[in-house]
Amino acid sequence: MTSTFGKLLIGTAALALTAGAALAQDVIIGHFGSPTPMQVARASGAFDAATGWTIEWRQFGSGTEVIAAMASGDVQVAELGSSPLAIGASQGVEYQLFMIAQGLGTAESLIAKEGSGIAALEDVRGKRIAVPVGSTAHYSLMGALAHAGIPEAEVEIINLPADQIAAAWDSGQVDAAFIWEPVQNQILQTGTFILGADQTAAWGYPTFDGWVVNTEFAAANPEAMAAFARTMNEANMAYLADPAAWTADSAPVKTIAEVTGAAADQVPNILKGFTFIPLADQMSETWLGGAAANLKTTADFLVKAGRIDAAVDDYAPFVNTAIAEAAK
């Protein structure tokens, strides 16, 4: 015979399951497939468990694709580089930056093909450079050219998604590429490192990858969004706690290699090229706290470069600090 207390527990559990089923959401999240710690949490289902969502992870080849998907409402949350983020915001896309995924450093770089005649930035005049137009890599490339005093018209920009650059490289269609990992490591096998996004940042053109959310979706799901950010931070902190332990034969690196296609023996060095920002530091002026000003500077540069028609006066509405604060 079931006790009254037992009946109460069974009833409560049934209600919880019913409520959970009723509240469960199918959520599409965009990402670039970068070899980063979040891939371990993605593979384990940690994000689904923390948020209560049923997540479809959709990989994109460029920020332009992400902007279109966010603008259509098809994707609710996505990884997006700082320069395409500024482009979409300038066009009125209804999204908000809520977390810095990573600073790009040497994980995004200009690589010259062997035999191209490019040994330094000044040698790119007249050369064919592959880059996903509208991406952070494109912004860094434009910044590098501006720093060197090289008009963009003096190079041939080959607009290619990240997943097509290696093939174009191997077939001799390009002389150089400004691209991110893991493609960067692929082409480095027959290429030379010229400069990274850390250098262009030092020249006044900083870039980062961030996480954006549909504005209306964020307002309707504050607790789940905080859980998402908290899980992302836990993944990054697992790496930051002991980077040396993330060797080629370690479980997390093997997982990253399996889900991204990066070579396991290259993943440890790829990870070193990123700057992962703990939640405790997200609100600094360098990162989320200064993101509105960063986006404004980026957008103003893109206007001068003829890449967008106009910048908005204030990018603060496109930055959401409440989610990161709630996740602490």
Residues 96 and 222 in one domain: yes
Examine the fold and report which residue of 154, 186, 202 is the final residue of a domain before the chain moves on. Answer: 202
pLDDT of 20 above 80: no
- Closest by CA to 291, choosing from 328, 321, 327, 313, is 321
Average pLDDT over residues 239-252: 98
> Which residue bears the tokens 């030092």?
202
| CATH assignment of the domain containing 315 | 3.40.190.10
The per-residue pLDDT for range 272-300, each reduced to its tens digit, is 999 999 999 999 988 999 999 999 999 99
pLDDT in tens, 172-181: 999 999 999 8
Q: Among 202, 236, 263, which residue terminates a domain?
A: 202
Q: Which of 155, 178, 202 is the last residue of a domain?
A: 202
* Same domain (yes/no): 195, 241: no
Tell me the residue range of the domain where 297 lies. 4-104+208-327
d(CA 307, CA 300): 10
Same domain? 95 vs 238: yes
- Does residue 26 sit in helix, strand or coil? strand
Q: Give the long-range contacts of residues 15-19, CB within 8 A, separation 24 or more.
A: none
d(C-alpha 101, C-alpha 118), whole Å? 32
Same domain, residue pair 82 and 183: no
pTM exceeds 0.85 for this model:
no
Residues 212 and 322 in one domain: yes
Q: How many domains does the chain have?
A: 2
Taking the alpha carbons at both ends of the chain, their separation in whole angstroms is 46
Q: Does residue 255 sit in the same domain as residue 129?
A: no
Closest CA relative to residue 116, chosen from 125, 127, 130, 103: 127
Is the same domain home to 222 and 311?
yes
Residue 133's CB is within 10 A of a number of other CB atoms, namely: 17
Q: Are residues 261 and 289 in the same domain?
A: yes
> Does 80 share its domain with 112?
no
Strand arrangement of the beta sheet that strand 156-159 belongs to: 156-159, 128-131, 176-180, 108-113, 191-196
The average confidence (pLDDT) of the chain is 91
- Regarding whether 214 and 72 lie in a shared domain, the answer is yes
Percent of the chain surpassing pLDDT 70? 93
* Same domain flag for 219 and 300: yes
Per residue in 146-182, pLDDT (tens digit) is: 999 999 999 999 999 999 999 999 999 999 999 998 8
List, for residues 313-322, the tens digit of each pLDDT value.
999 999 999 9
Q: Say whether both 218 and 285 belong to one domain.
A: yes
Four-residue CA torsion sign, 137, 138, 142, 143: negative
